[in-house]
């Protein structure tokens, strides 16, 4: 009862959370072992993890991927990571994994543990990890992924809305914080520049748009050279944005819409609509 009282007190500090989000935060506060086991250091999974940690008022996460070179480093968004050796898992019984993409060499260490993991989309499921997922507690942030996991793999998942931290708006290039002064008719893309993100579709559309879509994000050099350069990629590419709430805010505040066209498009559209609605609330 004392622990529950303390947790309830912490949860009362969070605003605009639905019941499912409160249950997720309660679970995390109980576990106190948060892991990020993906190689991706940019993109939606990173943003998800940052929002989640901000809601929990936690400023660090445990990583075990070789993509994180230092023992302690900058995860982005004011959060730091601590890289631990694989042997660290020997003494861990319960884990919450914010994202795990491939890194199958870790599966053997995880098989007998109490695992709760977020599956962001269907492309994270492979023959190597399918068996493990059937024995773990699965959380999804898209209802379509929940339905897909059940119909395709007979995996029961719990749907929770994306945890959105209502951060303060930033107007770097405008006076008086007047949104009417900074809003334009332009669109933006802020996903990673990868094959499955279909950035070539945006470039083809740009040739017909009066106000072309600006493209931000980490690039896959092979994709850029083989598919995008012939579509004038550099004409629309704005570079990598800083992983900070102020940087994201400055990009989105100036834009009328955001485009995202991955291969699993219908799954993502539902999720992005909810996320953008949450962002609009903070405006």
pLDDT at 110: 93
Measuring CA to CA, which residue among 31, 36, 103 is closest to residue 76? 36
Distance CA 265, CA 262 (A): 5
Q: From CA 264, how far away is CA 266, in angstroms rounded?
A: 6
Predicted confidence at residue 7, as pLDDT, reads 41
Q: What distance in Å separates the CA atoms of residue 226 and residue 230, rounded to the nearest whole number?
A: 8
The more confidently predicted of residues 2 and 51 is: 51
User: pTM value?
Assistant: 0.76
pLDDT at position 21 is 60
pLDDT in tens, 11-63: 454 445 566 666 665 555 555 579 999 988 888 889 999 999 998 888 889 99
pLDDT at 9: 43
Q: What would the mean pLDDT of 255-260 be, rounded to a whole number?
A: 82
Segment 131-156 mean pLDDT: 92
DSSP letter for each residue of 201-215 = HHHHHHTT-SSPPEE
Q: Which domains does the chain have, with CATH numbers?
A: 2-159 (3.40.50), 179-282 (3.40.50.2000)
Query: Can you read off the two tokens belonging to residue 139?
Result: 């959380």
| Structure confidence by residue, pLDDT tens digits, 74-89 | 999 999 999 999 888 9
Pairwise pLDDT comparison (132 vs 177), residue with the higher score = 132
Look at residue 181 in the predicted model and tell me its pLDDT. Answer: 56
The span from the CA of 97 to the CA of 77, in Å, is 19
Q: Are strands 187-189 and 157-159 parallel, antiparallel or unpaired?
A: unpaired
Report pLDDT for 242: 92
Helices in the chain by DSSP H: which ranges?
2-11, 19-31, 44-56, 107-110, 130-133, 143-153, 179-182, 199-206, 221-223, 233-236, 245-253, 265-282
pLDDT at residue 277 tops 70: no
């Amino acid at each position: 009862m004392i622990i529950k009282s303390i947790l309830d007190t912490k949860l009362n500090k969070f605003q605009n959370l639905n019941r499912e989000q409160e249950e997720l935060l309660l679970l995390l506060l109980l576990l106190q072992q948060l892991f990020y086991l993906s190689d991706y250091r940019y993109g939606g999974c990173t943003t998800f993890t940052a929002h989640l940690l901000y809601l929990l008022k936690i400023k660090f996460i445990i990583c075990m991927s070789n993509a994180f070179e230092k023992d302690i480093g900058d995860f982005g968004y004011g959060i730091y990571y601590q890289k631990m050796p694989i042997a660290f898992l020997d003494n861990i019984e319960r884990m919450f994994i914010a994202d795990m993409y491939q890194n199958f060499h870790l599966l053997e260490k995880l098989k007998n543990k109490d695992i709760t993991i977020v599956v962001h989309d269907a492309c994270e499921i492979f023959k190597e990890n399918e068996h493990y997922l059937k024995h773990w507690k699965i959380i999804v942030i898209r209802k379509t992924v929940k339905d897909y996991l059940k119909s395709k793999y007979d995996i029961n998942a719990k749907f929770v809305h994306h945890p959105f931290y209502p951060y303060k708006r930033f107007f770097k290039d405008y006076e008086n914080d007047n949104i009417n002064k900074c809003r334009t008719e332009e669109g933006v893309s802020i996903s990673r520049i990868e094959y499955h993100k279909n950035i070539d579709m945006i470039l083809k559309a740009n040739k017909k748009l009066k106000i072309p879509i600006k493209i931000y994000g980490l690039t896959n050099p092979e994709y850029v050279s083989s598919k995008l350069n012939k579509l004038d990629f550099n004409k629309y590419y704005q570079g990598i944005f800083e992983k900070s709430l102020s940087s994201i805010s400055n990009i989105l505040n100036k834009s009328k819409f955001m485009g995202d066209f991955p291969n699993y498009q219908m799954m993502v559209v539902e999720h992005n609509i909810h996320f953008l609605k949450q962002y609009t609330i903070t405006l």
